[in-house]
Amino acid sequence: MGLVPTMGALHAGHMSLVSLARQKCQSVALTIFVNPTQFGPNEDFSAYPRPLELDLKRCAEAGVDLVFTPSVSAMYPADASTAIRVGRLAEVLCGAYRPGHFDGVATVVAKLFHILPADMAYFGEKDYQQLTVIRRMVRDLDMDIQVVGCPTVREEDGLAMSSRNVYLSPAQRRQATVLSHALFLARDRILAGQRNADAIVAEVRAAILEAGPSQIDYVQIVDPDTLESLKHVDRPSRICLAVRIGSTRLIDNVPVP
């Protein structure tokens, strides 16, 4: 069985995970659960889109065999007191701006792995830190499941698909394309021989700020396994960013071979 954990508001990126799972597995299960423990007190838990009927239709059309849509009370009894603490991987990149977020992610994914025992679980590389955290949890806790990272799916103009893209106004949506363009420019700089991470990051930040009003949480070039920030790009890496355009926080990354 293949498992595709999601928070719903399904788009082509999610459905690409289903497609990859169907290629390898005899059956595919998908979960839809907006997990409260991974949202901070001032984040968008209440506003997060929940188009359940449309999601179920998409799952049926894609050949998903089982959709699991638990309530919050089913997943978290009122007196629940046990959680997973991730450690260093959860304290960098997005973790520095969203304390507790990845502990909440790891806890709910561990629960889903126990509720729906699967052979393989599919996650998108767009949420690369999440994918890294889950891989480490599976390794550290000896979970008998293979975690499969799947390529980021992008709109035609390069913007990484995300359920939060619906928050963007038309002007903000056009502005947001600078994120992927800047990332691919940075990748090309590295492949052309630039090794100074600070210089590459400065160029990415300048391109983002030139495109319009925004707040950059971070732009970093990191080791793909440890997520430690690199100063000299002398190995395979990931260029990662998180940027707020208006009130919408967008994340993206590209690999550098």
* pLDDT tens-digit series, residues 32-49: 999 999 999 989 999 999
- Domain residue limits, the chain: 2-150, 163-256
The mean pLDDT value for 115-133 works out to 98
Phi, psi angles (nearest 5°) of residue 240: -120, 145
pLDDT band at 31 (very low <50, low <70, confident <90, very high): very high
pLDDT at 215: 98
Beta-strand relationship, 237-245 and 66-68: unpaired
Residues involved in catalysis: 14
Cβ-based neighbour number of residue 74 at 10 Å = 10
Q: Do 2-150 and 163-256 fold alike per CATH? A: no
pLDDT at 202: 98
Cα–Cα distance measured from residue 248 to residue 236, given in angstroms and rounded to the nearest whole number: 30
152, 126 Cβ separation under 8 angstroms: yes
**Percent of the chain clearing pLDDT 90 (strictly above):** 100
pLDDT band at 121 (very low <50, low <70, confident <90, very high): very high
Pick 163-256's CATH classification: 3.30.70.270, 1.10.357.10, 3.30.1300.10, 3.40.50.150: 3.30.1300.10
Which CATH code for domain 2-150? 3.40.50.620
The mean pLDDT value for 119-128 works out to 98
* pLDDT tens-digit series, residues 127-152: 999 999 999 999 999 999 999 999 99
Picking from 54, 5, 51, the residue whose alpha carbon sits closest to that of residue 32 is: 5
